[in-house]
Amino acid sequence: MVSPLAWAKRNSVLLWVAAVAIAFFLAVPPVQFVNALTLGAIYALIALGYTMVYGIVELINFAHGDVFMLGTFVSLSILIDVMGVTGPITNPLQLAVVLIFILAVTMGLMGAVGFLIEKLAYRPLRNAPKLAPLITAIGVSFILQNIVQLWKGPYKTNFPQFFPMDAALMFGSVRIGLINVLVIAVALILMIALQLFITRSKTGRAMRATALDPTAAALMGVNIDATISRTFVIGAAIAGAGSVMFGLYLGITDFSIGFLAGLKAFTAAVVGGIGNTLGAALGAFTIGFTEVGATVAGFSRWKDAIVFILLVAFLTFRPNGILGSDSSDRA
């Protein structure tokens, strides 16, 4: 049996993070704490794709943020052009059906986009010097941005708010919007499902084996190309779910949101421990707390700069991130 002291030493980083979260909760209004969790949940859904791809092929997929951006426009078009949704839906059953449908379709389409990007842009460069796929990722990012500009234009576009924004839960005098609860719940469900998939499924074991040693995994019968493709598909699909939640929560999108969102998700992956799925989620919530904390403190104009200062600090003093990049957890 592990003693409490030994357990505390082994989990000192997590205990420190929990202490910081509790201190943040006590220092800011509860509503702002929920806002930080909501923002962190959205970043987590993007960061998971970054860390999964890096864990498998050690590629920083800078196009991933623009896959997320594309997902916002795809979900917007499905809502307006296919389903004819332009305003709040008050019928709970109809609301649930629309939400499940838009999540499923957007995740499926973004998964297909991830598959095409891997097959057409990255697979031919599998054995090329590492700089080549990195430059290609930047090129794919610009391609996606230009496709959206040709399709929807370069202007900001309102996302149809079909979820009743005035719906809330009351805890005494504290009002928590149901949209916040929805975003956090969807993110947690997908993160738990992903973790179970990676640790318990045959494909997840193949991902972890490929991340640990691709050559040995291939000798044991793992189809490396198929495993990498599935990783891109899963990461892009989860980013698609994040794009729906982003549109619902903020109510606006444009072709340029993928750049900054992608950089922050990359920062989250580094802060948590790139290549570590649990670390990416933890890093995303850290970014959410950092942004909201900066806003509450009166530094809203500097919140992005503060996030990237945090990135530099981690790269300098703890380059492996909060949880490190243990290869056994990489996928």
Prediction pTM value: 0.89
What pLDDT is stored for residue 329 in this prediction?
43
What pLDDT is stored for residue 57 in this prediction?
80
Tokens of 330: 């990489």
Sequence-separated (6 or more) residues with CB below 8 Å from residue 328: 208, 212
Q: What are the pLDDT digits (tens) for 142-157?
A: 999 999 999 988 888 8
- Determine the average pLDDT of the residues in 41-55: 90
The confidence band for 161, taking pLDDT boundaries of 50, 70 and 90, is: confident
Q: By the 8 A CB rule, do 49 and 284 touch?
A: no
Q: What are the pLDDT digits (tens) for 221-270?
A: 889 989 999 999 999 999 999 999 999 998 889 999 998 888 998 899 88
What pLDDT is stored for residue 327 in this prediction?
44
Sequence-separated (6 or more) residues with CB below 8 Å from residue 287: 39, 40, 43, 264, 267, 268, 271, 307, 310
What pLDDT is stored for residue 68 in this prediction?
95
Q: Is the pLDDT of residue 33 over 70?
A: yes
Task: Considering only residues 4 and 298, tell me which one the structure prediction assigns the higher pLDDT.
Answer: 298
What pLDDT is stored for residue 328 in this prediction?
42
Give the torsion through C-alpha atoms of 73, 79, 83, 86, to 10 deg. -130
- Determine the average pLDDT of the residues in 123-144: 90
Q: Is the pLDDT of residue 108 over 80?
A: yes
